[in-house]
Amino acid sequence: MGTAEEVVEIESLEKSLLEENDGDAEAVLYAASFREMEQRFVKYQTVQWVLYSLLLILAWGIGFLMLLYLPVRRFILRKDIRSRTLYLTPNAIVYKVTRPVPFPCFGVLKKEKHVLLHSVADVVVEQGYMQSLFGVYSLRIENVGVRRPPSDDVKIEGVANPNAFRKAVMIRLSNMRNEVSRQVSTFEDVPHHLMMSSSKSLKHDYRPSREQVLMQKLEEVGSSVKRIQSLFEEQQSQTTESID
């Protein structure tokens, strides 16, 4: 598990990298939708709120106040899901939402999350028991970095077609990895070509000196003299054998 300082450091690094690639960040490869799931999402959250309220009525009686707050809660949920945007860029997954505070008269809360694709391990589509009753899905973006705790994974509810968004992300990740592998193979081939060209240039530029040429000639003459001497000795031995 990473410390708070390490998480802040990684997030600042992601922010700086995204600022460097600001031009690419504007290109949207795929955008998810939430509007189709508004009614199901609000019903699902409402049933959850009512169940919690009933339990708290039996416990401490706070559930009465929660039931009175239910209309405000539904208003906040509708504003929340209508403001959500989730899209894929060439370098990151971007999630933005603007939701009212628990008492809407005091303003809104804005949240914007950028997840670099290089740090994405997988996009998981989840659906719990209560969610399956209303047809609501959740997307969880898992991180690659070992320094990040699992709680730092981005979880988003109410995506209309989560499998299509996951497929778009995985295709983009596959293309990025293929590009990286091609670049690595290209960089590995460059030193080999440089060594071959350098060896050829060394062979081409090599010029023996005059002393080396003379020594080579003397060695050739010495070897020829030795061959003549050996031939002469063989002929002499043959003549002595014939005389005997």
Q: Rounding to the nearest 10 degrees, give the CA dihedral for residues 36, 39, 42, 43.
A: -130
In this prediction, what percent of the chain has a pLDDT beyond 70?
Answer: 66
* Domain extent at residue 233: 208-244
Are the C-beta atoms of residues 173 and 180 closer than 8 Å to each other? no
Cα–Cα distance measured from residue 237 to residue 158, given in angstroms and rounded to the nearest whole number: 108
Tell me: do 103 and 139 sit in the same domain: yes
The reported pTM is 0.64
Residue 57's pLDDT is 86
Given CA atoms 33, 39, 44, 49 in this order, what sign does their dihedral have? positive
> Domain containing 30 — which CATH number?
2.30.29.30
Strand ordering across the sheet containing 108-116:
30-32, 85-88, 92-100, 108-116
Asked whether residue 227 carries a pLDDT value surpassing 80, the answer given is no
DSSP 134: H
* Banded model confidence at residue 25, pLDDT cuts 50, 70, 90: very low
Assess if residue 198 is contained within a domain: no
DSSP 3: -
Tell me: do 111 and 228 sit in the same domain: no
pLDDT tens digits for range 215-225 = 776 677 677 66
Tell me: do 222 and 140 sit in the same domain: no
pLDDT tens digits for range 159-211 = 999 999 999 999 999 998 888 878 777 766 555 555 565 555 544 444 556 66
pLDDT tens digits for range 45-83 = 999 999 999 988 887 778 899 999 999 999 999 999 999
Q: How many Cβ atoms from other residues are within 10 Å of residue 236's Cβ?
A: 10
Cα–Cα distance measured from residue 167 to residue 169, given in angstroms and rounded to the nearest whole number: 5
Number of domains in the chain: 2
Q: pLDDT higher for 150 or 231?
A: 231
Q: pLDDT higher for 100 or 151?
A: 100
Residue 61's pLDDT is 77
Cα–Cα distance measured from residue 74 to residue 23, given in angstroms and rounded to the nearest whole number: 38
Residue 236's pLDDT is 60
Cα–Cα distance measured from residue 116 to residue 106, given in angstroms and rounded to the nearest whole number: 33
Are the C-beta atoms of residues 148 and 13 closer than 8 Å to each other? no
Residue 206's pLDDT is 47
Q: How many Cβ atoms from other residues are within 10 Å of residue 152's Cβ?
A: 16
